[in-house]
Chain A
């Protein structure tokens, strides 16, 4: 159960300005069905003043409430004033939002930006950034703006505000880089090539072959057996036992207690050695 303020509940249960303006002066559409929330905001501008604003929202209670509150806020404002509205303003007007739901207020601000841009006939730079979070299609420019606007200080906060990192979580390191650079007032460096953190499969194969040839094969050959490398898939090393080893009752023990142990010691300690199926 989310702890919503009475204002959120009021805007959710009695939303204001639902609908679409025919022939709007500006139209902002953000979010998508797959993301779980989306907002279509249309505004009417007369003599530089926003005279009407309407919304359609797909999303949870706080998404609907944020949209409703936003339309109330902008009505009567000049376009210049409206352009200064931040997501925090939207959240404040609702008496605050649960931290996990702050992205709903960010969605409101983004839709407003998009509507104003469409009124002014300009294209927003946001969409042109580098896609950092592929699950929710969030760009680095959007993330940097959220960090600055809401003074974000952790990856978790970035996720709460922009949803970036809330899906598979693969972009967490990149989010940390962007956060660090932005907080320190530095420009964000373009994404570096995937760093070599672990051994590549090729490196593993070479190392495994080396250990097999240097230590394991000579030992097994003494007992009239031998071993061959069949495949390496991730941490799974498939081998085939030959000669005396192939029919030896203790082959499984040899494999686990000797071969696997040696390879773990000398190559990488996560390896799992398995015998090839006949």
Chain B
């Protein structure tokens, strides 16, 4: 199947990323000749086991952890579930969980289900966010109580890119004897992370968000943290996660982590500059466009912009015409009839929430691509606004009311 990947302008890297060619190269032997089981006693399998260990080392290296603190899983969602349910089983009497209103469904839906699990009914505090998507640490401190089992707060938000002060929050939790989990799926590989220096107990990451394949994730569990497995089975992952290892993907993830360490600086300089150029130009050239999320406390690759009075799916389909890939928080794209829970939690008005577009870049994007997108968007927005019944009154108001 030809997907036309050489023609697309891919600016949807918070959804998933291209598998790096180096990662594919690293994986190939394990999809062909090296098919041994890492748990086998013979050399043929054992050497595969070594490759898994090397990958573990590479992952640990990227996030400042020890190899034995790394558990390979099937995805970020599994890692999140494992961490939270482990803490709740460890502290059975502590039936309180603290999280935020803007978590990814991996955490949000799990927490929502906790309040109704019969016999293990839990109380969940979902912290609110300010208009710029940031958390209030005083509110967080007040939310911690003696029966809080675990705090689960994402490191960076997938829709807006807003970064939360999880290191400070983890320290506050530790002082109260509460475990701290962070869904760092969007942060790992984009910003430096060093778990040696903080009090985070659990961290979830996902392979396909950092140029490794889909179907592999990691749960970091700090040494000494009580742990109850989510998937019981064989002694893989030191008995902490049963199931034969997804060897090729694990090896790929290891390689991707090495690459991420090498491109971290580029991500935070060149990619950031591209993102800033895209964002600044759009906000300057398109009237009634607004940035969703804190301007600086944010991932270097993400920009979430609302084009008021029009709807996101319509914008995306016009972009699709030019092979530009982005995403939207509008109702029609959220899989429900309401716009994204993140934008609603931030209090983004309906005029803007429905017309939000998220651009998320990677090291594979070029300046030419950004220029191409900048060339196309203003006309798309203007065309859809001409069609919108709410635009003409707004335009008149602007023309009449704002003469300066």
CB distance from B88 to the nearest CB of A (A): 14
Residues from chain A with a CB closer than 8 A to the CB of B44 are: none
With A33-B354, A269-B118 in contact, is A64–B338 under 8 Å at CB? no
Taken together as a complex, chains A and B put the C-alpha atoms of A166 and B336 apart, in Å, by: 7
Taken together as a complex, chains A and B put the C-alpha atoms of A36 and B314 apart, in Å, by: 12
Are A57 and B121 in touch, CB under 8 angstroms? Answer: no
Are A167 and B123 in touch, CB under 8 angstroms? Answer: no
List B residues 143-170 near A (Cβ within 8 Å). 147
Taken together as a complex, chains A and B put the C-alpha atoms of A144 and B246 apart, in Å, by: 52
Residues from chain A with a CB closer than 8 A to the CB of B314 are: 12, 59-61, 64
Chain A 128-158 per-residue mask, 1 if CB under 8 angstroms from chain B, else 0: 0000000110000000000000000000000
Are B387 and A39 in touch, CB under 8 angstroms? Answer: no
Are B313 and A159 in touch, CB under 8 angstroms? Answer: no
CB distance from A32 to the nearest CB of B (A): 8
Q: Give the size range of B's interface with the partner.
A: 20 to 34
Taken together as a complex, chains A and B put the C-alpha atoms of A13 and B119 apart, in Å, by: 54
List A residues 8-53 near B (Cβ within 8 Å). 9, 12-13, 15, 18, 29, 33-34, 36-40
B189 contacts partner chain A, Cβ-Cβ < 8 Å: no
Residues from chain A with a CB closer than 8 A to the CB of B332 are: 36, 59-60
A172 contacts partner chain B, Cβ-Cβ < 8 Å: no
Taken together as a complex, chains A and B put the C-alpha atoms of A18 and B391 apart, in Å, by: 13
A210 contacts partner chain B, Cβ-Cβ < 8 Å: no
B300 contacts partner chain A, Cβ-Cβ < 8 Å: no
CB distance from A100 to the nearest CB of B (A): 9
In the complex, which of the residues A38, A60, A166 contacts B390, with contact meaning CB atoms closer than 8 Å? Answer: A38
Residues from chain B with a CB closer than 8 A to the CB of A272 are: 95, 121, 123
In the complex, which of the residues A13, A159, A236, A252 contacts B321, with contact meaning CB atoms closer than 8 Å? Answer: A13
A256 contacts partner chain B, Cβ-Cβ < 8 Å: yes
With A37-B311, A58-B388, A270-B121 in contact, is A167–B338 under 8 Å at CB? yes
CB distance from A103 to the nearest CB of B (A): 8
Are A235 and B351 in touch, CB under 8 angstroms? Answer: no
Taken together as a complex, chains A and B put the C-alpha atoms of A163 and B338 apart, in Å, by: 10
Are B338 and A60 in touch, CB under 8 angstroms? Answer: no
Nearest B residue (CB) for A253: B93
Residues from chain A with a CB closer than 8 A to the CB of B317 are: 9, 12-13, 61
Chain B 58-99 per-residue mask, 1 if CB under 8 angstroms from chain A, else 0: 000000000000000000000000000000000001010000
Are B321 and A58 in touch, CB under 8 angstroms? Answer: no
Taken together as a complex, chains A and B put the C-alpha atoms of A56 and B337 apart, in Å, by: 21
With A36-B330, A58-B309, A59-B311 in contact, is A15–B338 under 8 Å at CB? no
Residues from chain B with a CB closer than 8 A to the CB of A72 are: none
Additional A-B contact list (8), CB under 8 Å, known A36-B332, A272-B121: A15-B387, A36-B331, A36-B339, A57-B389, A58-B388, A60-B332, A163-B337, A166-B338
Interface residue ranges, B against A (CB under 8 Å):
93, 95, 118-119, 121, 123, 147, 309-314, 317-318, 321, 330-332, 336-339, 350-351, 354, 386-390, 392
